[in-house]
Structure 1
Amino acid sequence: MAADRHQRRRDPGGHARHLALKGQYSSQYHLILAAAALALLPLIVIFLLFQRHIVRSIALTGLK
């Protein structure tokens, strides 16, 4: 108990906050980032397939 108080005095924000957030309020960032990457894959594939058409239409809308 005494060591715990001394640890919090030396490191008021980092370690104590990390221990307090383990559990209900922690996030599994590796799973979130993996799901985000998988969600972006179809969009990237569609863009690569239609890149020529997308770029041409953007260029034509800029002409007057």
Structure 2
Amino acid sequence: MKNLTLTGGFHNCSPIRVRISDDQMTALKDGESLDMILSDNQIKKLERHFCGVSGCTCGSWRRAEIEW
């Protein structure tokens, strides 16, 4: 398992870590999109952290930077 850290985004949020498997990390580095490798619960966690405002169009976690 690896820790993946995301930070910033539209609202310049503090860093948050998500644990992913080695296979998920490899897929991500090979160009797979983050929303394709994360579980629904991990995506909900990121959405709450990066915005959480219903109807907001900021992009939530999709605009965050990944720290390798």
TM-score under structure 1 length normalisation = 0.22
User: Greater share of helix residues, 1 or 2?
Assistant: 1
Could you say which structure has the greater relative contact order, defined with CA pairs below 8 angstroms and 6 or more residues apart?
A: 2
User: Greater share of strand residues, 1 or 2?
Assistant: 2
TM-score under structure 2 length normalisation = 0.21
